[in-house]
Amino acid sequence: MRRAIPCLALACLAPWSAAAATYEVGPGQPLAAVGDVPWESLQAGDTVRIHWRAEPYREKFVLCVRGTAERPVVVQGVRGPNGERPVLDGRDATTRAALNYWNEARGVIKVGGANTPADTLPAHVRIEGLEVRSARPPYTFTGRDGLTAYPNNAAAIFVEKAEQLVIRDCELHDSGNGLFVAVSDGATRDVRVEGNFLHGNGNEGSAYEHNSYTEALGILFEGNRYGPLRAGCAGNNLKDRSAGLVVRWNWLEGGNRQLDLVDAEGSQVLVQDPRYRETFVYGNVLLEPGDDGNSQIVHYGGDSGTEADYRKGTLHFFHNTVVSRRSGNTTLFRLSTNEEQADCRNNIVLVTQAGSRLALLDGDGQLSLGHNFFKPGRVDSHSGLSGSIQDDGTSILAAEPGFLDEAGDDFHLAAGSVCLDQAGPLAPAATGHPLHSQYLAHQGLEPRPADGPLDLGAFERCQSGACADPADGGDGGGDDGEPGEDDAGPGEDDAGPGEDEGQGGSGNLSGSCACGHAAGGSAWLWLLVALGGWVRRVTCARTG
C-alpha cells in the first residue's frame, strides 16, 4: 500500500529494469520515524537515509532482504551539522508492528531471518554512518512479545545470516557485543567491517561478550578503531572464529586480548574451507594501555576444547605496531597447541618496561621470526616453552623504535628511526596482501607512502617528502582477500532461528516506487553517482 511517488524526472526516465526507492527519515523529511519505513517490503536497490536529530531514535528493525551487487540495499545515516551520526538507541526501543522476526532481543539492528518479511538469506546489504547503542541488560524494548529484556549476548548490530554484507563508518557501543556475526551453518559469508568505532561494549564480570564477535566464511576488518570495553567487562576486543579472516590497518586498544582468533564452532563448512588455515593480520596498531585483562596480545588456535577443529594453520602477522604499557609481563602470542604456527615479520613490538618483560610465546606453538623490532632482553616464554621458535637473526634490537610521539600515541616513525627501510620480504603466502594502505587516526585509511624499502610496523615514513601513492605503483595485489563468512555463532550463541514459526510474509506491501534505481548499465550508475545530490531526493512516500 505504498503509493505516492514523487521523484525526479531524470530518475523516472532512466531505463532501469526495476524500481527502487529512497526513504528519507527525520525532522522535516517525508518519514518522521524509523518505524515509518516499510522495512518489510524493502527491495533490491532501496536506500533508507536516517537523518541526524538531537533526540536518539529509540527504534529497532530487521533487514531481511536480498540486494544485488549493482543494487544493494543501503541503510545510511546522514550526519548532523557538527558531524554527528544519527543514533539508534536500543533502550526503550520499539519495533514497527508490521515486522515479525525471531531473535528480536539479539540486536538493535538485526540482519537475518523473519516471518514478516518472508524469510530469506540477506544479501548485498550495507549499513553505514549510524551510531547504534544500548542493547544489553538491564535495558528493555517493546517488540512482538511486548516488553522484553535484552540478553547478555545482545548486540548493537546482530547478524544472524547474510552474504555480501558491509558495515562501515558506524559507532557501536554500550551493548553486550558491539557487533555479532553468526555463521548459520555456513550461510554467512563475505562480510566487510570497515571504518567503524567499536568500544564500551561487554557485560560486567563476563568474559563472553566482546566489542566484536564474529564467525563467517570470509570476513575483512579494516580501518576500524577498537577502544577498551566497558569498565568491569572481561571480554576481548576482536574475537573471531571465521575462515578467510583478514584483519588489516585497524587500531586495537585494550580488551582482555586485542585479538582472540579461535576455532570455528558453528559449522564444519568453515573447518573444511582451505582459508581456515591461513589468517592474515597486518598493518594494525595493537595497544595495551595498561594492566588491562590478559597479558597476551594475540591468541590464535582455539578455545572450545575440540582441538581437532582448531585453526592449526598459519597466523601471518606482519607490519603491525604493538605497544604494551603493562607494568608486568606481556606475552605477544598464545598459540593454542603445537600445531598452530605464527609467521611474525616486519613488526615493531615495544614494551615500555624492561625488554625482558616481553615473551614471544605463552608456551605452545611454532613461531618464526624475521625483521622485527624488539627491545633487548626478550624471552621465549614466561612460563616454559613447549613449542619452538625459529629466529633468522634479522630482527633489530634497540632501546627505542623511534616513534614520533609515543606518549601521545603517535606511532609513526620519526626521522632517524632504526625501523626505517628495515623490512624483509613478505611470506610467499602473504604476497596477495600488499601494504598499500595504512591506518589514519581515527577510523580512516590513507595510502601507505611508497618510499623505498618498507619500514617496520604499521606506518611508512616518507623520507623524501614526496612519495608516490603505492596504489599507482602497481603493487600488484588487486583486491586482496575479501573475507567471506559463514555462520558460526560465536561462542555460546546459537543464533539459530530457533523458535521460529515461519509463516510467510504475505502481507508485504506490494509494489515499489515507480521511480527508478540503478540497475542496468554502469554508465547510468555512474551518472547517478555524479548526481548523488539529486538522487537522494528521489523519494518515495508511503501512503499508509
In whole angstroms, how close is the CB of 439 to Ca ion at the nearest point?
Answer: 17
Binding part of the chain for Ca ion, among 212-220, 337-345, 451-459, 467-475 by CB under 5 A, reads: 451-459
Residue 455 makes contact with Ca ion by CB under 5 A: yes
Measured from the CB atom, the residue of 5 and 420 that comes closer to Ca ion is 420
Contact 437, 287 (CB under 8 A): no
Strands (E), 242-284: 243-248, 251-253, 259-261, 278-282
CB 124 within 8 A of CB 73: yes
Cβ proximity to Ca ion: between 20 and 426 the closer is 426
Q: HSE (CB half, 13 Å, CA atoms) of 72?
A: 15
Q: How far is the CB of 285 from Ca ion (least distance, A)?
A: 18
Q: How far is the CB of 401 from Ca ion (least distance, A)?
A: 14
Length of the chain: 544
Q: Which grid cell is 287?
A: 595497544
Residues near 384 by beta carbon (within 8 Å), at least 6 away in sequence: 363
- Residue with Cβ nearer Ca ion (229 or 454): 454
Which residue's CB is nearer to Ca ion, number 421 or number 482? 421
The least CB distance from residue 342 to Ca ion, in Å, is 24
Q: Which is nearer to Ca ion, 406 or 421 (CB)?
A: 421
CB of 462 to Ca ion, least distance (A): 8
**What would you measure as the largest C-alpha separation in the chain, in angstroms?**
73
Q: How many residues bind Ca ion (CB under 5 A)?
A: 4
C-alpha to C-alpha distance for 426 and 432, rounded to whole angstroms: 10
Nine-digit cell at 286?
595493537
* Pick 8 or 404: Cβ nearer Ca ion: 404
**3-class secondary structure for 30-64?**
CECCHHHCCHHHCCCCCEEEEECCCCCECEEEEEC
Query: Which position's Cβ is nearest Ca ion?
Result: 451
Nine-digit cell at 461?
Answer: 615514513
What is the footprint of Ca ion within residues 391-450 (CB under 5 A)? 421
Half-sphere exposure of 247 (CA within 13 A, CB side): 30
Stretch that binds Ca ion, among 303-311, 384-392, 454-462, 531-539 (CB under 5 A): 454-462
Q: How far is the CB of 395 from Ca ion (least distance, A)?
A: 17
Distance of CA 19 to the CA centre of its chain: 31
Q: Which is nearer to Ca ion, 77 or 457 (CB)?
A: 457
Q: Provide the CA 543 distance to its chain's centre, in angstroms.
A: 37
d(CA 368, CA 356): 19
How near is the Cβ of 455 to Ca ion at its closest, in Å? 4
Point out which span in 91-99, 104-112, 328-336, 452-460 binds Ca ion (CB under 5 A).
452-460
Q: Which cell is 75 given?
A: 541503510
Of 183 and 423, which has the nearer Cβ to Ca ion? Answer: 423
Beta bridge partners of 217: 189, 243
Nearest distance, CB of residue 418 and Ca ion, angstroms: 12
Chosen residue from 119, 451, 485, 493 binding Ca ion by CB under 5 A? 451
Give the nearest distance from C-beta 421 to Ca ion in angstroms: 4
Cβ atoms 257, 238 nearer than 8 A: no
Q: Which is nearer to Ca ion, 452 or 473 (CB)?
A: 452
State the residues that interact with Ca ion by CB under 5 A. 421, 451-452, 455
